Amino acid sequence: MHVVVIGAGIAGAVSAVELLRDGHEVTILEPGEPGGEQAASYGNGGWLSPSSVLPVGSPGLWQKVPGYLADPLGPLTIRWRYLLKALPWLTRLLTSSSSWDKVRKVSLGLGPLVAGAPGLHAKLAAEAGVPELIHRTGQLYIFPSRKDFLDSAESWTIRRERGVHWIEVDEDELRQREPALDRRYTFALYCEDGGHCSNPGEYVAALVRLAEERGARRVRGTAEGFDIAGGRLKGVRTAGAVIACDAAVIAAGARSRELAHMAGDRVVLETERGYHAVIEGPEVGPRTPVMPSDGKMVHTPMTNGLRIAGQVEIAGLDAAPNWKRAEILRDHALRTWPGLPRDLPAERVKVWMGHRPSTPDGLPCIGRASGCPDVVHAYGHGHIGLASGAMTGRLVADIISGKAPTIDIAPFDPSRFN
Ligand SMILES: Cc1cc2nc3c(=O)[nH]c(=O)nc-3n(C[C@H](O)[C@H](O)[C@H](O)COP(=O)(O)OP(=O)(O)OC[C@H]3O[C@@H](n4cnc5c(N)ncnc54)[C@H](O)[C@@H]3O)c2cc1C
């Protein structure tokens, strides 16, 4: 079959590689450079985390919403002007995570999607000639004290139920593991199975190069719709042209909603905007990627510096970035790694804002479209799209090739919002 893959972020790039592996002809349709700054896949925190099995929402979240509206610089903020538009997504977010039982159900779907992520990415990166970008050296969740960990015990219980392993790290061992870390952290969990990618943009670009070497055609352009006749796909429409094809994959990240609607599924998809700051040539930093419990962010050693990535801003696709949020990330790094210079010159800090493609229930949309079985959805991975990208691409190929999917895809049914 000739398959058009719409979007060359991690979801599209791996889908293209896996479709070629199954013997299909592939065209990659993307307006920018693969893995470029326009994609969430460029600027994320690089975590490949089998412990990422929880949705963003948790019981009691609704009580915090007034605070999110009041504090424009809080770790999670909702811009007043965007509130009405975000309401359908927000309401579903609150209801779908209103009890630990519901959160547990989501974790059952996410678990298999991320379980083997570091290993799957290591294989793909080796195939693409960039094995050095995937590291399987674990991750540290750091806390001021063991009590702070116990305060979040329920979420860790669910992780344990999903097969996530960790060891507790006391203060002495933490000092040995991370000598540059600020003394306010005295306790950590070490997840040995975790990994990270030290240059996600370059990794995605390498995967697309691999696809092209194996025969994929790359077209610079934007998908605007589908030509469907008698319920079957005839082509993907771009400005002024139609790319004739037998199947298409919607992998346009946070910009997938309109295409999904055109394919017959009224998916609820929002952008959770996030930021990063990269400190180039850091004097000190983490040996292992760390996630501090007192900030919605990760600190990851990357090929181009120390990247601090995180924050959630609900403000839509078009609002201008609020760069103060990237400054918050930089300042958190200065407090976390006291050996970094206080007077860090501005030219040593690079900032970025991007769009997480987020469904309200925390589960991606992967599966055939209701309006046309030849169109396959592959987006909505929110905070864990890099990690889950490897399995997602495999699932897309399974679906199009008519194979039994490698894992159960029922939780990702795109028609669940119809
Ligand atoms: C600050 C931040 C930190 C994060 N940290 C992590 C992390 O540590 N680990 C993790 O697993 N995940 C993380 N994520 C999430 C992860 O980056 C995303 O879930 C993932 O990159 C989404 O990949 P994607 O391929 O679906 O979308 P994208 O990477 O956004 O790619 C979509 C592509 O589609 C193209 N496109 C859009 N519209 C069209 C169209 N109409 N036609 C053709 N092409 C189109 C775009 O140009 C883009 O290149 C983070 C995200 C952010 C913002």
Tell which residue, 300, 405, 374, 289, has the closest CA to residue 6. Answer: 374
Ligand 1 centre distance from Cα of residue 161 (Å): 28
Q: Kindly report the three-state secondary structure assignment for every residue of 219-263.
A: EECCCCEEEEECCEEEEEEECCEEEECCEEEECCHHHCHHHHHHC
Structure tokens at 26: 């592939």
- Range in 55-59, 209-213, 288-292, 352-356 the model is least confident about: 55-59
Q: Is the CB of 75 under 6 A from ligand 1?
A: no
Q: What is the pLDDT of residue 76?
A: 87
**Ligand 1 centroid from CA 389, angstroms:** 10
Q: Is 203 in the pocket of ligand 1 (CB under 6 A)?
A: no
Element (DSSP H or E) covering residue 102: helix 100-114
Share of the chain above pLDDT 90, in %: 93
Position in ligand 1 atom list of the atom nearest CA 386: 11
Q: How far is the CA of 209 from the centre of ligand 1 (A)?
A: 18
- Find out whether the beta carbon of 326 lies less than 6 Å from any atom of ligand 1: no
pLDDT digits (tens, 9 = 90+) for 71-98: 878 888 998 899 999 999 999 999 999 9
Structure confidence by residue, pLDDT tens digits, 335-375: 999 999 999 999 999 999 999 999 999 999 999 999 999 99
User: How many CA atoms, within 13 angstroms, populate the side-chain half-sphere of residue 411?
Assistant: 21
What pLDDT is attached to residue 66?
Answer: 85
pLDDT tens sequence across 267-306: 999 999 999 999 999 999 999 999 999 888 999 999 999 9
Distances (CA, A) of 38 to 52, 236, 313: 24, 21, 17
Can you give the pLDDT at residue 68?
82
Q: For residues 51 and 53, what is the distance between their CA atoms, to the nearest angstrom?
A: 6
The answer on pLDDT for 262 being more than 90 is yes
pLDDT in tens, 232-249: 999 999 998 999 999 999
At 69, the pLDDT band (50, 70, 90 cuts) reads confident
Per DSSP, the three-state class of 124 is helix
**CB-based contacts of 149, cutoff 8 Å, min separation 6:** 141, 143, 156, 187, 189, 293
pLDDT at 357: 98
62 falls in which pLDDT band (50, 70, 90)? confident
User: Is the model's pLDDT at 60 over the cut of 90?
Assistant: no
